[in-house]
Structure 1
């Protein structure tokens, strides 16, 4: 299978060939293995219009709310990094992942729920919430101008969702590069994957509290800049948007330049010292990742290619297949 993009130039053909090789290495089933695996067109017989219905739902929701794509992408990250890509972040209830303070600002749940309700009408008990979330995040990238790509499906929904598992498995916006790399490595993701997947911040928004560590309130109740690595003009804009005592509902775009487009502007922002989070800025300030940031800032095609590779790795973390987990009837509760 291949990553689909809009032209068939020689460069694109090479791009597709490279990704075909990667996909085969990631998802092929060896002749000696009988364990179920993810596969492309998993629902081709059981629910042939599944992916189309998910994409239609995402596109419709995004038309009315331009923040939806960023929310779906963030929701996927918060799912896959904790229990693996098993839809556990979608479960409601006390003590679930969703109840952790790090997850209370997540959005996009209603889109996943809408797609699930539609699929239950046409293909009851067939398409997992975990797959719906992966497909929705994939579609969110394409809808906002990013690469179009195929993803394997066949995930089943997890039946465990614990608040205690969230913090040890989630990147904090104040993390150093070494802290992020340690966590990503534990998930089977490389340093280059970290840089590419951080590019998700090219869309979406963040609450003021997510980057408040870069400022402090002085004795007069005014915010002042303490992180001198941040561009002064950009910092002043952030302080205007997030004054001392600002409401928890106030948000700022992750990318101040092209906030609703999935492009490589995020990396250009890093070069201009306009990374919103400390965890963004360190990608350019640390020599281990600086060159890759520069590469992506100069070449959007290179970023898109690596994004596709890294996204496939991300969405294969800790998946449940075969007899593991279940196919939930509703994404918010396990079957009874």
Structure 2
């Protein structure tokens, strides 16, 4: 029996697609039953791979979700971030800390056994990120498939399209707007930080720890007790660059609205997180989501659907890669 929440998600998806059809429609190749005849178990095979891998490594859902963001914001959702080699997106230092590649490769290998040359790496990545959210307790979202894999992966395209944790709201909004995403969707999709972790270098500009281990808080907007905790976790610069800290200190493995509650308590890990509470244009949504998880989940369903259709390649614009790490020769 369908739950009211499931029914509301269906209505949201219909509404979003109607809106997109009236303005900037996704490529006609995308559909909710794209693999119904060619590979009917495609989505199940991806989900089983993600579930199995996540049971062994609970940090994978956060990594898969971040991997999708880094893919879709550069060249669109075309799996270009998965390509290995000198001069590729993956070679940029901003992508050095990305993870989850092995999960995508595993799912692709299974699909190539049962449905060779059929399912794109771009679809595998989008589905894996979708499933990662649901496996972590977030909403299940229907997304269309039929993406093609891009034939271009250039390191020069990364920095102009990537959000930095030191960005202002205006800078973040500009990048999101260029992808067809609104300010409200910026707040919603920032909720992805409710799972995952970050290296100390991503937020170390908010405090300083000298070579003797003496900490100094530089960002007064950060809760002092939380800042003290972070400074203890992060050693002096360069001591151990591999150390990571959970984005959400309370429920780091659960996709929920805790991220927004942390923002209200001035415990946003990144400077770009904290700014969402300090800016009047975004504060209202932060408060709303902190107080209403269902509202956040409903908004997530809409925003995530739009995210996964950014710059999708269709027909002659892309290919179906044999392996996700290399463009077909």
TM-score range, shorter-chain basis?
Answer: over 0.9
Q: Find the aligned partners of 2:314 and 2:61 in 1 and give their Cα distance.
A: 27
Equivalent residues of 1:15, 1:305 under 8 A apart: yes
Aligned to 1:308: 301
Q: Find the aligned partners of 1:160 and 1:20 in 2 and give their Cα distance.
A: 32
Matches for 1:73-92 after TM superposition, within 5 Å: 73-92=65-84
Q: Find the aligned partners of 2:244 and 2:102 in 1 and give their Cα distance.
A: 20
Aligned residues: 327
Q: Find the aligned partners of 2:314 and 2:19 in 1 and give their Cα distance.
A: 18
Q: Find the aligned partners of 1:324 and 1:141 in 2 and give their Cα distance.
A: 29
Aligned to 2:128: 136
1:227-246 CA-to-partner distances (Å, cap 9, x unmatched) read 00000000000001002143
Which of the numbers 94, 100, 106 marks the counterpart of 1:108? Answer: 100
Is the counterpart of residue 262 in structure 1 residue 255 in structure 2? yes
Q: Find the aligned partners of 1:101 and 1:21 in 2 and give their Cα distance.
A: 39
Matches for 1:1-336 after TM superposition, within 5 Å: 8-9=3-4, 13-26=7-20, 36-218=28-210, 220-245=212-237, 246-336=239-329
1:144-195 CA-to-partner distances (Å, cap 9, x unmatched) read 0000111001000001001111000000011110110011001110001100
Gap runs ≥5 in structure 1:
1-5
Equivalent residues of 1:90, 1:332 under 8 A apart: yes
Flag the 1:219–1:49 CA change in 2: closer, same or farther, 3 A. closer
Q: Find the aligned partners of 1:335 and 1:59 in 2 and give their Cα distance.
A: 29
1:243-292 CA-to-partner distances (Å, cap 9, x unmatched) read 21431110000000000000000000000000000010000011110010
- The structural deviation recorded for 1:19 is 3.1
Q: Find the aligned partners of 1:13 and 1:128 in 2 and give their Cα distance.
A: 29
Equivalent residues of 1:85, 1:130 under 8 A apart: yes
Q: Find the aligned partners of 2:21 and 2:126 in 1 and give their Cα distance.
A: 16
RMSD of aligned Cα (Å): 1.8
Report the 3-state secondary structure (helix = DSSP H, G, I; strand = E; otherwise coil) of the residue aligned with 2:33. Answer: coil
Equivalent residues of 1:27, 1:37 under 8 A apart: no
- The structural deviation recorded for 1:12 is 5.4
Equivalent residues of 1:116, 1:330 under 8 A apart: yes
Q: Find the aligned partners of 1:182 and 1:168 in 2 and give their Cα distance.
A: 11
Q: Find the aligned partners of 1:255 and 1:36 in 2 and give their Cα distance.
A: 38
Equivalent residues of 2:77, 2:122 under 8 A apart: yes
Equivalent residues of 1:79, 1:87 under 8 A apart: yes
Equivalent residues of 1:222, 1:243 under 8 A apart: no
Q: Find the aligned partners of 1:213 and 1:162 in 2 and give their Cα distance.
A: 28
TM-score normalised to structure 1 length: 0.94
